[in-house]
A and B are shown apart, each in its own frame.
Chain A
């Protein structure tokens, strides 16, 4: 993965994680699987980036985690959105839309 790509990806990955967690609390694997599922397989989350991203979001206070039992009776770390995380989804979404718009605009002109 080239570094210039990762920067862009990192920004979107954060947003995708947050968006996914608006549905329900989830563990790391579930988040990855859900993103893949929602994007109809178009986006394959790099699993290696997923956990640092989760850690980063937790430190910003946007998500919180705790260990819980899964349906299959295994211990897994579940992440959930905090109140400030919920606000952040709105702001990040808007910012993403502006970004996409700007890129589209440039592509159209060129």
Chain B
């Protein structure tokens, strides 16, 4: 208590010496004034009174100095001299200092980089006011295996009107739309978010220019559609044109009026959004069944202040209950729920980030153990110095403090270097991360990251300073002085501490490396998944038609001409259209039923894609039964369809599907359109490599015309080289069209592995560093051991022990330590790796093969690390070893 009370005065005096001096001057001045007054009252003349007062006070300067002496706190003096001493002793051993600083910088740098990502993605609140009030409302349907899925517009509108817990609820179309901007130089491709009119008011974001959308723009009233630009879109696409508000721009050949620009940093719901477009629903659709059946929007609600999520959820459930009764056809199995928006957006990024965070924490622990070991060896080497200081009367506490100061100074240097490394690391991470994975494209070293680095640095300084400090405390000066630094009980104590640290290091390295090993195995499995198509030599060019193509005939003509010209390009062997390429997961789904089957009993959603006749030859998707499409399957011909093998197996179960008729309604009626199955083709992984192929229908593109298609060109040469030629073809046919994207299918396939590759690469890199550090630890321990026992080895050799026996002494010690570390690490791994289950593909978290391989690797490398000092020990020259101190 006293210390606390006095501390304030001391700190002020220390940090603001000028102010303290000023105060003292005032105080003395006041004192002399009063004394003068007193003297005057006693009858002195004023000047005389003052002179006597000053004389009585004594030397003012002396008082000041004495005051200073009292004021200057000893502990700060001590700390300053401790730091100086630490710097001196670090300079004395530059090799050791450098090794420790590099080790710490690696550990702290990795932490800073990963933490900056965690900070930006998980910890920083969304850039909107009171983001904790924002909830993502979703729908689920156990019958269709939907969870946290998109909502149907009609359900959303009912929520908005009937849930009083929310101030308001906004919605946006779940997929970003891409549109071609024309009329401003070259056509540019914009990323659009289609949102309800109240989107910005729910987000509580005001525009920096113009206005936001208005509530009534949720509905199209035959007026011009409004668009609000994102700051980025305004800057990059429109050159920060200050007069943009009120102008009409051409998007996909249609006029859209720019009404406002949003502030920098606001980029919901898509990080790369260029503009928000009013969703413009047709009021006439509201009663239509499709408005409640098709799920494609996301709803974001803002809770009223003081209303809890649980209360809101009760009201949401009540509404869903009513809808079930009111609209059984669409809502019988629909459920709904809500998740805080931030949590929802972070979603599946959280686990990878946490795993990486755990990995860098382990890495830092290994680094600390290594540095602790170095310091311990150094402390042992300086045993005499410490003993001497003790004998001369230095307090034990003071010695411990000295040791801790030294490690804190070391960690501060390491931390500063680590911060630089970490800062560089954030840039590497940003460039390396797969598109959209972290949801933020930029994260840097801000105040939170800085605070984290300072904390981590201090904690690690204390951690690795602990062992040498405690060891110092236990020293018996008499014995240390008697024995010198290399033998006796202190030596044993050092060894025990050192062993413990290295065992810990090996254990941690095992945990890390097994984690990385599991990901590598999983990545390997993923790489060898057959995607169901052959990507080599195929270029996929995404083209979307504009509003000008307002009839089936116009669209078909365009697609037919594109295919004809594409096929004529040199080197091209096949050309085909497909509405969605595999591994990107954007197909739409519906109900279906085959003629003559009961409506109930089969509950899955089926996917749909439209393909041209050549698709299967282009992508080498095998035909398993029946036939593929031909030129005869035109619009006027009877409707036909192909199914994939998954659908044939799960729905038709051994029956011959060929010739069966299907419709896309759940319960067929007289308006149902029936199609005949003409063949079965192989499965393609539609959405990702790690999810199984879904059941799907493939329809001929001329019978089911799409305004957006991928043009696939199979070539004998380099597919990417075809891009300019395809661009030219599209431009020749219609100069107002832009290509949405053009990528070889091999790139699409690689992108499907990008996330796994990112995580695996990072974790592997950390594991390698951890592994190397721990092996260096083993080496350092044994090198020190054999150095300390040179004399003993010399005696053994002199007495006729074989070199191999001496060597074995050292190696045995190394193996013992490694084995202990592996046992502890193995036990920890079996528990800890379970956390990674969701990241693994076709590999169990306790995969014995990975564990055994990694353990063997660690054992082998530490054997090598033991071999070097062992050989040195066994080569000791007995004569010189015996002479040495």
Across the interface, A61 reaches (CB within 8 A) one of B6, B31, B58, B59, namely B6
- A45 and B2 CA atoms in complex are apart in Å by 26
- Whether B26 contacts A77 by the Cβ 8 Å rule is yes
A84 touching B1, Cβ below 8 Å? yes
Complex Cα distance, B28 from A75, in Å, reads 12
B432: Cβ under 8 A from any A Cβ: no
- Chain B's closest residue to A30 (CB) is B34
Contact of B5 among A32, A49, A52, A64 (CB under 8 A): A64
* CB < 8 Å neighbour of A59 from B1, B9, B63: B9
Q: How far is the CB of B440 from chain A (nearest CB, A)?
A: 49
- CB atoms of A59 and B6 under 8 A apart: yes
Chain B residues, Cβ within 8 Å of A76:
27, 30
Which of B66-74, B106-114, B375-383 has 4 or more CB atoms under 8 Å from chain A? B66-74
8 A Cβ contacts from A83-102 to B: 83-84
Q: Which residue of A lies closest to B3 (CB)?
A: A61
Q: Is the CB of B5 within 8 A of A61?
A: yes
Q: Does B600 contact A (CB under 8 A)?
A: no
Q: Report if A61-B2 is in contact (Cβ < 8 Å); known contacts: A28-B27, A28-B31, A47-B58.
A: yes
Tell me the nearest residue of chain B to A52, going by C-beta.
Answer: B66
Measured in the bound complex, the distance between the Cα atoms of B35 and A99 in whole Å is 33
Given contacts A52-B66, A60-B2, are A47 and B27 in contact (CB under 8 A)? no
Determine the chain A residues whose CB is within 8 A of the CB of B62 once the complex forms.
48
Q: Are A29 and B58 in contact (CB under 8 A)?
A: no
Tell me how far the C-beta of A8 lies from the nearest C-beta in chain B, rounded to whole angstroms: 17
A59 close to B73 (CB less than 8 A)? yes
Q: Is the CB of A51 within 8 A of B6?
A: no
Whether A29 pairs with B31 at a CB distance below 8 angstroms is yes
Assembly CA distance A52 to B468 (angstroms)? 40
- In B1-31, the 8 Å CB interface with A consists of 1-6, 9-10, 23-24, 26-28, 30-31
In the complex, the answer to whether A51 meets B1 with C-beta atoms within 8 Å is no
Judge whether A59 and B10 touch: CB under 8 Å. yes
* Residue in A33, A61, A74 whose beta carbon sits within 8 Å of that of B1 in the complex: A61
Which residues of chain B are within 8 angstroms of A12 by Cβ–Cβ distance?
none
From 37 to 61 in chain B, residues with beta carbon under 8 angstroms from any chain A beta carbon are 38, 56-59
Contact A59 B23 (CB under 8 A): no
A55 part of interface (Cβ distance < 8 Å): yes
Number of A positions contacting B (CB below 8 A) = 27
Closest chain B residue to A74 by CB distance? Answer: B30
Beyond A28-B31, A64-B5, A74-B30, whether A56 also contacts B58 by CB under 8 A is no
> How far apart are the CA atoms of A72 and B383 in the complex, in Å?
65
CB distance from A34 to the nearest CB of B (A): 12
* Complex: A62 Cα to B26 Cα, angstroms: 22
**Most chain B C-beta atoms within 10 Å of own C-beta, residue among A46, A58, A62:** A58
Say yes or no: A29 contacts B35, CB within 8 Å: yes
A48-B59, A51-B63, A52-B70 known; A58 vs B26 contact (CB < 8 Å) = no
Is B28 a contact partner of A84 (Cβ separation < 8 A)?
no
Q: How large is the interface on B (under 10, 10 to 19, 20 to 34, 35 or more residues)?
A: 20 to 34
- Flag if B58 contacts A77 (CB, 8 Å): no
Are A51 and B5 touching (Cβ within 8 A)?
no
B2 near A48: Cβ-Cβ < 8 Å: no
Q: Point out the residue from A29, A48, A77, A84 that lies within 8 Å of B63, measured CB to CB.
A: A48
Bound complex: CA A61 to CA B2 (Å): 4
Q: Enumerate chain B residues within 8 angstroms of A49, measured Cβ to Cβ.
A: 66
Smallest Cβ distance from A1 to chain B, in angstroms? 9
- Is A48 a contact of B58 with CB atoms below 8 Å? yes
Interface residue ranges of B57-96 to A (CB < 8 Å): 57-59, 62-63, 66-67, 69-71, 73
Closest chain A residue, CB of each to CB of B28: A51
Q: Nearest chain A CB to B294's CB is how many angstroms away?
A: 73
> Which chain B residue shows the least CB distance to A56?
B70
CA distance A60 to B3 in the complex (A): 7
B5 near A77 (CB under 8 angstroms)? no
Bound-state Cα–Cα, A32 to B53, Å: 13
Tell me whether B58 and A27 are in contact (CB under 8 A): no
Q: Is the CB of B58 within 8 A of A46?
A: yes
Query: Pick the contact of B70 from A33, A46, A59, A65 — CB < 8 Å?
Result: A59
- Cross-interface CB contact of B71 among A33, A55, A74, cutoff 8 Å: A55
Q: How far is it, in angstroms, between the C-alpha of A55 and the C-alpha of B59 when the chains are bound? A: 17
A75 to B25 CA separation, bound complex (whole angstroms):
12
Supposing A56-B70, A60-B6 touch, asked if A51 and B56 sit within 8 A by C-beta, the answer is: no
Contact of B26 among A46, A48, A52, A75 (CB under 8 A): A75
B2:A51 contact, CB within 8 angstroms: no
Q: A39 CB to closest chain B CB, in angstroms? A: 17
Taken together as a complex, chains A and B put the C-alpha atoms of A47 and B70 apart, in Å, by 16
A64, B5: Cα distance in complex, Å: 8
Which residues from B are CB-within-8-Å of A27?
Answer: 27, 30-31
B23 and A77 contact, CB distance less than 8 A: yes
Which A residues are CB-close (under 8 A) to B58?
A: 46-48
Known: A29-B34, A51-B24. A58 touches B9 (CB 8 A): yes
Question: CA A64 – CA B73 in complex, angstroms?
Answer: 17
Q: Most A CB atoms within 10 A — which of B1, B5, B56, B66?
A: B5
Give the distance to chain A from B152, nearest Cβ to Cβ, in Å: 69
CB <8 Å contact, A62 and B2: yes
Q: Nearest Cβ distance between residue B263 and chain A, in whole angstroms?
A: 47
Q: How far is the CA of A48 from the CA of B34 in the complex (A)?
A: 15
Does B2 lie within 8 Å of A84, measured CB to CB? yes
Query: Is A52 a contact partner of B27 (Cβ separation < 8 A)?
Result: no
Task: State whether B26 touches A61 (Cβ < 8 A).
Answer: no
Residues of A within 8 A of B2 (CB): 60-62, 84
Name which residue of chain B comes closest to A70, CB basis. Answer: B30
By a CB distance below 8 angstroms, the chain B residues around A48 are 57-59, 62-63, 66
Hey, which chain A residues are within 8 Å of B4, CB to CB?
A: 61
Give bound CA distance, A104 to B1, whole Å.
36
Residues of A within 8 A of B30 (CB): 27-29, 74-77
CA of A75 to CA of B26 in the docked complex: distance in angstroms? 9
Q: What separation, in Å, do the CA atoms of A82 and B2 have in the docked complex? A: 9
- Residues of chain A contacted by B66 (CB below 8 angstroms): 48-49, 51-52
- Which of B5, B31, B35, B69 is in CB contact (< 8 Å) with A82? B5
Name which of A48, A64, A83 has the most chain B CB atoms within 10 A of its CB. A48
A84 to B, closest residue via Cβ = B2
Q: Which residues of B contact A61 (CB under 8 A)?
A: 1-6
Contacts of A46 in B (CB 8 A): 58
Contact of A52 among B6, B38, B57, B69 (CB under 8 A): B69
- Which residues of chain B are near A33, meaning CB under 8 Å? 38
Contact A55 to B67, CB < 8 A, known contacts A28-B27, A76-B30: yes
Neighbouring A residues of B5 by C-beta, 8 Å: 61, 64, 82, 84
Q: In this complex, what residue of B is CB-closest to A55?
A: B70
Q: Per-residue CB proximity of A20-53 to B under 8 Å, as 1/0?
A: 0000000111001100000000000011110110
Which A residues touch B70, using CB under 8 A?
52, 55-56, 59
Q: Which residue of A lies closest to B57 (CB)?
A: A47
Most buried by A among B1, B27, B38: B27
Chain A nearest CB from B52 CB (Å) reads 12
Bound-state Cα–Cα, A56 to B72, Å: 10
Closest to B1 in A: A84
Give, as a whole number of angstroms, the nearest-CB distance from A12 to chain B.
Answer: 17
CB distance from A44 to the nearest CB of B (A): 9
Closest partner residue, chain B, to A1 (CB atom): B58
In the bound complex, how far is the Cα of B66 from the Cα of A82, in angstroms? 24
Q: Which residues of B contact A77 (CB under 8 A)?
A: 23, 26-27, 30
Interface string of B363-405 (1 = CB under 8 A from A): 0000000000000000000000000000000000000000000
Would you give 5 A-B contacts (Cβ < 8 Å), ordered by A?
A27-B31, A28-B30, A29-B30, A75-B26, A75-B30
Across the A-B interface, the 3 shortest Cβ-Cβ residue pairs: A61-B5, A48-B58, A61-B2
Give me 17 other A-B pairs in contact (C-beta within 8 A), A47-B31, A47-B58, A52-B67 excluded.
Answer: A28-B27, A29-B30, A33-B38, A48-B59, A49-B66, A51-B28, A51-B66, A55-B9, A55-B71, A58-B9, A59-B9, A59-B70, A61-B1, A61-B2, A61-B3, A75-B26, A82-B5
